[in-house]
Amino acid sequence: MDANSTNISRFKMQCNKFSGILSKGLSLPKQRLVNQMIYGIQASKDVKLSNISRALQEDIPLIKTEDRLSRNLDDIDLTNQINDTIMRLGNDKVTDEMVIAIDPGDIMKPYAKAMEGLCNIYDGSKGETALGYHLCQVTAANLEHNKLVPLYCQAYSSEEEGYETSTEKITSIISTVVQKVGTKGVWAIDRQGDNIKIIQHFNNEELTFVTRLKLNRYLHFDHNKNKQVQAERIANHVRFRYKTQIVMLEDGRVKEYTIEFGAITVSIPEDPDKWYTLVVIKGYGKQPMLLLTNKPVNLYSHKELYNIIQIYLTRWKCDECFRYIKQSYNLEDLRVRSYKAIRNITAMVHAIAYFCSVYMGMKLKLKILVQRIFILSKRFFGIPIFYNYAMADGIYELLKKTRVGIENFKGRQGNIVDFQLSLFPD
């Protein structure tokens, strides 16, 4: 019998049920695919089909399992169905006070040659272009940083049919999420959001947003279209009335910054009749940080201005979810050639992020299982606020000694549990 057999059985049952919700309405082979991938990625902490196949422990040659997974992943694109289901499940978890962060990124494949749809991406760490795929994730989080709700994730290529620009892609993803979640929350985006089309799209969708501006753009200020200054010099026209300290975790170390901040009313030359609040922060880096928002703000209220800063800092916390799916499951180590397979695996890894962040904590009776998983993660200094890394490690430790895979395990009554019976309404 497996060690921790009760916890293993309970985890597999929840994994079956969650997979059934994701794959509802699909053909039986695709339901089986989703079930095995959701389990296999977590059991192996990897997205390589060879390791997933080993984790499934089927009584057939390993190559047969891998071929079946590869064939089914190549067949149809499940990205939209998986994302729609995750957004439907997460809709009631998102509140008006939460931050909805949209984070464009990438999957780097610098040595790949035969993978379908490879395109040029920008490697920020090296400051040069590389081969890979674009990635865009949307995550909601509260300002206390103790609740995270993954909502949307898509891998895409600029070489795909119908692709126009990255701006068009980002605005279409925003619209897709709004259709499912509504206009709740405050949207936050990094400097890629310093784009008049994206800013106008937020306004057209009646969304509240905070975006970081680039320093090389020009701004009108003080409700005067004749006053124009480059953004990097806007600090000369701002009175920094307030000072506070913020604590950041960088490279595993806690760093404390003393920042000064103030605000000014600005407009963008491309749309000079629309005025925004610009919060300017000094002390975090060599250059001032500029946060543009359409959220109603009192320029003389310390609390309201600091709230804008908190919203942007929460966007950084949402970046943890982005790093989590790439690091915990080796997402950049994809070994499939098909473009559909790449998109499918990316969507499934994101679904696992929702499973660990939200689904496992929905029911009180699962808290004991989650606590047991945390214990197995073997953390030296306890469980951090962003606990998904510990969840990934704990699930791997829980499942690595199991003698059977997900498809034919015995439940509490000693009967074999068939994943097809887990299609219950959420």
Q: Say if 343 falls within a structural domain.
A: no
Q: Which residues pair with 260 in a beta bridge?
A: 243, 282
Same domain, 145 and 22: no
Q: Say if 370 falls within a structural domain.
A: yes
> CB of 131 within 8 A of CB of 121?
yes
Decide: residue 266, CB within 10 A, 0-12 exposed, 13-18 middle, 19+ buried. buried
Identify the domain boundary among 278, 296, 326.
Answer: 326
pLDDT > 70 in the chain, percent: 85
Same domain, 198 and 250: yes
Same domain, 141 and 58: no
Separation CA 212–CA 315 (nearest Å): 11
Q: Say if 247 falls within a structural domain.
A: yes
Identify the domain boundary among 300, 326, 352.
Answer: 326
Same domain, 70 and 105: no
Structural domain count, the chain: 2
Tens of pLDDT, residue by residue over 123-177, are 766 677 889 999 999 999 988 877 889 999 999 999 998 898 999 999 999 999 9
pTM, two decimal places: 0.86
Rounded to 5°, angle at Cα 216 from 214 and 217: 80
Same domain, 310 and 385: no
Beta-carbon contacts of residue 168 (< 8 Å; ≥ 6 apart): none
Separation CA 240–CA 300 (nearest Å): 10
Same domain, 378 and 306: no
Q: Say if 310 falls within a structural domain.
A: yes
Identify the domain boundary among 277, 300, 326.
Answer: 326
Q: Say if 400 falls within a structural domain.
A: yes
Over range 411-417, report the average pLDDT: 44
Task: Identify which of 351, 323, 356 has the alpha carbon closest to the alpha carbon of residue 154.
Answer: 351
Separation CA 210–CA 128 (nearest Å): 28
Q: What's 261's DSSP letter?
A: E
Q: Which residues pair with 224 in a beta bridge?
A: 221
Report in angstroms the alpha-carbon separations of 350 from 195, 200, 354: 27, 28, 7
Q: What is the DSSP string of 320-377?
A: HHHHHHHHTTTGGG-----HHHHHHHHHHHHHHHHHHHTGGGSSGGGHHHHHHHHHHT
Q: What's 233's DSSP letter?
A: G
pLDDT over 80 at 1, yes or no: no
pLDDT over 80 at 413, yes or no: no
CA atoms within a 13 Å half-sphere pointing along the CA-CB vector of 131: 10
Report in angstroms the alpha-carbon separations of 112 from 117, 131, 164, 329: 11, 8, 24, 19
Q: Say if 201 falls within a structural domain.
A: yes
Over range 226-238, report the average pLDDT: 91
* Whole-number pLDDT of residue 401: 76
Same domain, 157 and 282: yes
pLDDT over 60 at 411, yes or no: no
Q: Say if 350 falls within a structural domain.
A: no
Over range 238-251, report the average pLDDT: 81
pLDDT band at residue 415 under the 50/70/90 scheme:
very low
Q: How far is CA 119 from the centre of its chain?
A: 21
> CB of 247 within 8 A of CB of 256?
yes
Same domain, 369 and 268: no
Lowest mean pLDDT among 246-250, 262-266, 364-368: 364-368
Tens of pLDDT, residue by residue over 188-228, are 999 989 999 999 999 999 999 999 999 999 999 988 888 89
Same domain, 263 and 174: yes
Task: Identify which of 381, 367, 319, 327 has the alpha carbon closest to the alpha carbon of residue 145.
Answer: 319
Tens of pLDDT, residue by residue over 313-328, are 888 777 777 777 788 8
* Whole-number pLDDT of residue 87: 96
In the numeric block, which tokens belong to residue 399?
A: 């499942």
> CB of 391 within 8 A of CB of 377?
yes
* Whole-number pLDDT of residue 361: 62
What's the CATH number where 212 sits?
Answer: 3.90.350.10
Over range 99-103, report the average pLDDT: 93
Same domain, 266 and 372: no
Question: Which residues constitute the domain of residue 157?
Answer: 94-326
Same domain, 158 and 288: yes
Same domain, 50 and 11: yes
Beta-carbon contacts of residue 425 (< 8 Å; ≥ 6 apart): none
Side chain identity at 364, as an amino acid letter? L
Q: Say if 205 falls within a structural domain.
A: yes
pLDDT band at residue 405 under the 50/70/90 scheme:
confident
pLDDT > 90 in the chain, percent: 58
Tens of pLDDT, residue by residue over 47-98, are 999 999 999 999 999 999 999 999 999 999 999 999 999 999 999 999 999 9
